[in-house]
Amino acid sequence: MNLPHDKAFCDTSFFFASLSPEDANYKAAGALLEYCKKHNVILYTTWDIISETVTLLRYRANYRMAVTFLDLIKPALFIIPYDDSVRAEAEKVFRKLSKDKRLSFCDAISYVVIAHLLEGIPCLTFDRDFRSLGLTVFPIGRPLPS
């Protein structure tokens, strides 16, 4: 696996899989986290992803996992700040692409952040929507790190 400049954007599906042993991608997410730790990869995300992750963990797992994410994982992340121009661009992306793709507004924001603010860095996700947007995605279609 090659992460340019040792940076990666993390999506909700990746965070959820990394904490939920019942998730089909639990082992793959753990292997990716170990790789990132070993290679000092900076993990980026947005407050939108944090909100979505905490909500998903609370609803599909439990309160303890949601708080574990907030206490242990969130502090290690670089949370990308952005302004209303990103939200406005995300709305354009959503309106244009959601007709034909199953795209959440949170995914539209992530797309704009990754493409415009983070210069297209790779995404750690198990969500196929990111690949369909033309973003570089790990681990879908890629070998897992050793």
In the chain the domains, ranked by start, together with CATH numbers, are 4-81+120-139 (3.40.50.1010)
Q: What is the pLDDT of residue 110?
A: 97
Query: Region 62-79: what's the mean pLDDT?
Result: 96
Tokens of 80: 């990308």
Note the Cα 75 to chain centre separation in Å. 15
Average pLDDT, the chain: 91
Read off φ and ψ for residue 24, nearest 5 degrees.
-60, -25
Handedness of CA 90, 92, 93, 95 (dihedral sign): positive
Q: What is the pTM of this model?
A: 0.91
